[in-house]
Amino acid sequence: MPEPLPDPLTELPGVAPGAFSFADHYIVCGGNALAHRLIAELIEHYQVPVVAIVPDLGRDHGPRIEQLDGVTAVLEYTSVTQEALVAAGAATARGIALVDGDDQANIHAALSAQGMNREIRIVLRMFNQRLGEQIQSLLTNCAALSGSATAAPAFANGALSRPNSVLVGDRYLYVAYDYDPAAGAGHLCVAADRIDRQNLDRLRLLPETPSAARPFIDLAEAVEGMVGAAPGPGRAADGTAEQPEPEQDGLAVLQTLPTEPRLRVPLLSRLRYRFLDTLRFFTSARIRLVLCTAFAAILASSVVIYHYNRSPGWTAYLSLLDAAGSAQPDQMNDPTGGTGGPVQRLAQVVITFSGIALLPVLTAIVVDVLASGRRGLPRSPSAGLRGHVIVVGLGNVGTRVATLLAELGVPVAGVELDPQAAGVAAMRALGVPVVVGDGPLADRLRVARAKHARAVVAVTNDDAVNLEAALEARALRENVRIVVRLFDDDFARHVYATLGNVASRSVSYLAAPAFAAALMGREVLGTLSVFRHVLLIAELTAEPGGALVGMSRNDIEALGGLRVIAVRLARSPGTYQWGYADRSRGLAAGDRVVVVATRNGLAQLNRAAPEPVSLDA
């Protein structure tokens, strides 16, 4: 009797049978910071079993992932192969996230995972967003996200000291700080309170706020106290309602704008920068010196010629011909030749010799520009660069940040160690100057004219390098705005407490909640950063038979960490009803709600399954 063939889903070379028996779990592939944050997000907030596939347990974030409490298993495979997917139990997994490697490797792994399990939920990180959209249409139950695209707006807006915004329908949502309730401006909800920039541990996201009926309850209690009722909970000794202590710390609210907050860059500053930058692009310092001297001599001599003939047209005509060496000389015995005598003759000689120097220089400029284009060399920052933003590190995130700033019309300069980095070529295509080299960071920042910059954004993969860039930039200009990419939360808190005019962001912290929500089938429209914290803007659909059907606004917000900011009813899907007033109406199948949520709040909604209530349409 022939031996049975091995089951490819359970038996692997070198692996004991039954060594892996995972089911209804989630797989995260990657050993970078995003994979680390994503695994922690799934374990802590969504409370689901997670199997990790890391390329190296001893490198990058592999050791940290292995030490996470609650991770089901950590497997070491250099790439996400068929063998790795089988070992991780992809055939019985509920979802897989591919957040490491390049776009091609992630697409290949996604196709392999779907071939093993047609029902598996796939979330893959893609730098090429256009390609990601096509992959989403190709694969079933798939979401393609870009971690750098998710985080880049927070860095760019942090550098410009303006609020980050998320487009929902026809409105932009953003977080406004130092909000004054007495100003009377409308807002959707309180985003955070107890804001202390020296101690961000006190900050609360989406704090509990009194209900709309609170004033009436206080009034009733006050009236009851006036007729001699005994003090009770919530009442002072005189029977009146106790008033809460006013919050003395900062307050941030979620507001809407019909258009994105505008960036104001003075027109004269932009024109001056463009002119000086264009001049610097085509010439070097020595060539500019020759050009300026020749032009000054030609201009002064033209003024002398004009003094004698008083004709602007003839003056320009003679000056140009003299500069080209083609004019007739001023003949002494020719009564119609010149009118200025020796003075005009001297002026024509000066123009002629200046033209002799000018024409070869102009030719050299054209040749140099064409040669530089063939070499593909990035240009250096110009001497006239002012009010610009320096982006240190032109990886995926740095390239996105620099591109966003350039599209807004803000002058940008890049600093990159590796001349072969993809971001250097991208900046060259945008016309953004880049300082390339491995010299001291202080020297490279000086060449990038950090002394005249409005902000420095340090987004390399190394926290120490980012902090060094921040300190070196601060040494060159004390009041420069600094935005640093830091992974370690404790490190970031010390930076906030020590350095002024600084903002800290974590790419993985901003992107991981969106990846986790997508893995759970939630549609996240965007993220809003509140210092080192994150708020998610998500649009959820009440699917037939789903947990949201029958839930009211009160039911949703009672879960904690959630605020319903808009509702789209199934009968009018194109209309966003902001601040939906009917808190008791249960959602019908097909209704959609827009919520702002903390990471834990969105996870609570994912786990919620309340008893349906009758609909009162």
Q: Which strand ranges, in their side-by-side order, compose the sheet holding 389-392?
A: 434-436, 412-416, 389-392, 455-458, 481-485, 502-505
pLDDT of residue 264: 59
Residue 255 confidence (pLDDT) above 90: no
Q: What percent of the chain has pLDDT over 90?
A: 24
pLDDT band of 234, cuts 50, 70, 90: very low
**Non-local CB neighbours of 428 within 8 Å, separated by 6+ positions:** 376, 377, 378, 379, 434
Residue 15 confidence (pLDDT) above 60: no
* Selected residue with higher pLDDT from 468 and 300: 468
pLDDT band of 344, cuts 50, 70, 90: low
* Selected residue with higher pLDDT from 234 and 192: 192
Q: Exposed (0-12), middle (13-18) or buried (19+): which is 527, by Cβ within 10 Å?
A: buried
pLDDT of residue 114: 92
Ranges 70-79, 168-177, 423-432, most confident:
70-79
User: Which two tokens mark 44?
Assistant: 């802590």
pLDDT of residue 88: 94
**Non-local CB neighbours of 335 within 8 Å, separated by 6+ positions:** none
Residue 437 confidence (pLDDT) above 90: no
pLDDT of residue 593: 92
State the CB neighbour count (10 A cutoff) for residue 274: 13
Judging by DSSP bridges, how do beta strands 73-76 and 204-205 pair with one another?
Answer: unpaired
User: Which two tokens mark 558?
Assistant: 């009672």
Mean pLDDT of the chain: 78
**Across residues 43-47, what is the average pLDDT?**
89
Residue 331 confidence (pLDDT) above 50: no
The span from the CA of 601 to the CA of 604, in Å, is: 5
pLDDT of residue 31: 93
**Across residues 594-603, what is the average pLDDT?**
89
| DSSP notation for 258-309 | SSPPPP---HHHHHHHHHHHHHHHH--HHHHHHHHHHHHHHHHHHHHHHHHH
For the ranges 92-106, 392-406, 599-613, the lowest mean pLDDT is seen at: 599-613
pLDDT of residue 183: 44
Q: What percent of the chain has pLDDT over 70?
A: 72
534: nearest Cα among 502, 515, 565, 512:
512
**Across residues 282-293, what is the average pLDDT?**
68
Residue 10 confidence (pLDDT) above 50: no
pLDDT tens column, 488-547: 877 877 777 777 778 888 888 888 988 998 998 888 888 888 887 889 899 988 888 888
Q: Exposed (0-12), middle (13-18) or buried (19+): which is 83, by Cβ within 10 Å?
A: middle
Residue 8 confidence (pLDDT) above 50: no
The span from the CA of 397 to the CA of 146, in Å, is: 10
pLDDT of residue 336: 44
**Non-local CB neighbours of 360 within 8 Å, separated by 6+ positions:** none
523: nearest Cα among 594, 446, 433:
594
**Across residues 459-481, what is the average pLDDT?**
90
Which amino acid does the sequence have at 398?
G
570, β-bridge pairs: none
Q: Where are the alpha helices (H) located in 160-284, listed in sequence order?
A: 214-226, 267-282
pLDDT tens column, 73-115: 999 999 999 999 999 999 999 999 999 878 899 999 999 999 9
**Across residues 141-151, what is the average pLDDT?**
88
Residue 462 DSSP SS3: coil
**Across residues 174-195, what is the average pLDDT?**
71
The span from the CA of 592 to the CA of 543, in Å, is: 9
pLDDT of residue 580: 85
pLDDT tens column, 544-580: 888 889 999 988 988 888 999 999 998 888 889 888 8
pLDDT of residue 272: 64
